Amino acid sequence: MASFLVVTLEKRLNKYQNTFSLVRFTLLQFILILSLIGLLSCSSAEKKQTEVVQKQAELDSIALIYDHTQADTQIDEFMMKLHKKSGFNGNVLIAKKGKIIYQNSFGWADYLHRDSLRIDSKFELASVSKPMTALAVLQLVDKGKINLEQQVSDFFPGFPFQGVTVKQLLTHRSGLPNYVYFVEKLWPNRKKGMTNLDAINLLIQHKPTRYGAPDGRFHYNNSNYMILAAIVEKISGRSFGVYMMEHVFKPAGMKNTAVLSKAVYEKIPTDVVGHDRTWRRSVVQDYLDGPVGDKGTYSTVQDMYLLDIALREGRLLDKSILDSAYIPRSDAKRGVFSYGYGWRTFTPANGQIVYHTGWWHGFKNLYVRDLKNDITIVLLSNFVNSSLNQLDDLYKILEMPILRQNAYNASGDFVVN
């Protein structure tokens, strides 16, 4: 009897073991199938993303196609005159209705070594960096990581100027002192670049007198965008340069653009040297080439055109929030000139133009986007003179409003022929 029970138990045990083995095998198969589906899904998503990137790169290459033999002769004649008679030294790209109609290089990248400029030469954008800094901030606003009404003290405890908001920084209505002048006697080593946080800490430590009340009158000020870049770093957990590369430059196809700081490099790696009014005076990089956001972005005329395309196509920011950046939000000058979020605005009758100028350490630039007529003008210069103030005939050739404040009266009416 006992042996019968043992045999019966063994048979049942074997049955259960076989059943368990079958269940275990089935579960393993199921897990394996799920894993394979996951891998295939990831692989498919990665493949799709790669295809999207490749397709966009192809479109970018097509957008940059330019046949110099088909150059607009009127623009070429104008630019030759601007170079020879007005001293323009730099690169130019002009596009209309989605096509480059003119691009060229004029003069020297470094006069001392007689190095000629190339169309892919990288220029310090100076304050033309500001629209891109504003773009980074608005991306974080769009994701709910920053609120326009947040105060600077929310990000940097101890910040001594109360009531200053992100929105006020974007529109230059913060009333803050300009760090560029304030730190001049406080930074010990003029050859060593300070960081944005260094500049903010000096503001916290020394509490200089502010220029005006928060949300008061418009006062253009580098402190605003230096602080905005620092906020981007704090919220994103990335250096400003890395954030811009990942979220602005790469998505826009800007392969020759980067944020470069003397706080990172002993000498900023660029072949284009800034010259201040005379060829004998090349501008030496110093500690003020450390802070970024207000300046410090280096780019080419072609990359700036790709930025314009990416913005128009909504690849960097949702249209509704991007359009909010173009709304005039500061004291109007001569009725039609104002400032939005990172953009200077020019709103003549039946027109909408956003633009920015830049002037820093021997570089002088102009970036214009005529949103109504689909015209892009990029002028990057490494020789500071008045040539970029003499563009009336260029605007006439392009059949767009003349972009010059002195050409309009207080009511915004054009007064100069």
Q: Which helix (H) or strand (E) holds 96?
A: strand 90-96
**Reported confidence tier of residue 23, pLDDT bands at 50, 70, 90:** very low
User: 277 is written with which tokens?
Assistant: 């009014």
Q: What is the pLDDT of residue 155?
A: 98
Q: Is the pTM of this model over 0.75?
A: yes
Who contacts 174 (Cβ-Cβ below 8 Å, separation ≥6)? 161, 164, 165, 168, 214, 219, 221, 223, 224
Q: Which helix (H) or strand (E) holds 364?
A: strand 363-370
Higher-pLDDT residue of 33, 407: 407
Q: Is the pLDDT of residue 186 over 80?
A: yes
Who contacts 404 (Cβ-Cβ below 8 Å, separation ≥6)? 389, 391, 392, 416
Q: What is the pLDDT of residue 205?
A: 97
Q: Which of 206, 216, 208 is nearest to 164 (CA)?
A: 216
CA 360 to chain centre: 16
Q: Is the pLDDT of residue 77 over 70?
A: yes
**Reported confidence tier of residue 282, pLDDT bands at 50, 70, 90:** confident
Residue matched to tokens 């150059």: 71
**Reported confidence tier of residue 29, pLDDT bands at 50, 70, 90:** confident
Question: Distance (Å, rounded) from C-alpha 183 to C-alpha 387?
Answer: 31
What are the start-end ranges of the E strands in 139-242? none
Mean pLDDT in residue range 115-138? 98
Who contacts 330 (Cβ-Cβ below 8 Å, separation ≥6)? 171, 172, 173, 218, 338, 339
Asked if 360 and 124 touch (Cβ cutoff 8 Å), the reply is: yes
In angstroms, what CA-CA distances link 126 with 84, 92, 259, 288, 403?
25, 16, 11, 12, 20
Question: Distance (Å, rounded) from C-alpha 340 to C-alpha 351?
Answer: 16
Q: Is the pLDDT of residue 24 over 60?
A: no
How confident is the model over 148-171, as pLDDT tens digits? Answer: 999 999 999 999 999 999 999 999
Residue matched to tokens 């110093």: 286
Torsional class of 126: left (φ above 0), alpha (ψ -120 to 50), beta (otherwise): left
Q: What is the pLDDT of residue 20?
A: 52
Q: Is 338 in the active site?
A: no
In angstroms, what CA-CA distances link 107 with 21, 252, 284, 367?
80, 28, 20, 20
Mean pLDDT in residue range 55-65? 92
Q: What is the pLDDT of residue 50?
A: 78
**Reported confidence tier of residue 6, pLDDT bands at 50, 70, 90:** very low
Q: What is the pLDDT of residue 52?
A: 77
Amino acid identity, residue 117? L
How confident is the model over 370-400, as pLDDT tens digits? Answer: 999 999 999 999 999 999 999 999 999 999 9
Length of the chain in terms of residues written: 417
Residue matched to tokens 């916290």: 204
Across the chain, what does the average pLDDT equal? 91
Q: Is the pLDDT of residue 173 over 70?
A: yes
Q: Collapsing DSSP states into helix, strand and coil, what is residue 182?
A: helix
Q: Mean pLDDT lowest for which of 145-149, 391-395, 406-410?
A: 406-410
Question: Distance (Å, rounded) from C-alpha 208 to C-alpha 202?
Answer: 9
Q: What is the pLDDT of residue 9?
A: 46
Q: Collapsing DSSP states into helix, strand and coil, what is residue 165?
A: strand
Burial status of residue 150 (CB atoms within 10 A of its CB: 0-12, 13-18, 19 or more): middle
Mean pLDDT in residue range 126-141? 98
Task: Sort strands 258-259 and 275-276 into parallel, antiparallel or unpaired.
Answer: unpaired
Higher-pLDDT residue of 94, 47: 94
Q: What is the pLDDT of residue 51?
A: 77
User: 24 is written with which tokens?
Assistant: 């275990």
User: 369 is written with which tokens?
Assistant: 């986007």
* φ, ψ dihedrals at 21, nearest 5°: -60, -40
Residue 385's CB is within 10 A of a number of other CB atoms, namely 17
Q: Collapsing DSSP states into helix, strand and coil, what is residue 381?
A: strand
Catalytic hit among 86, 116, 121, 127: 127
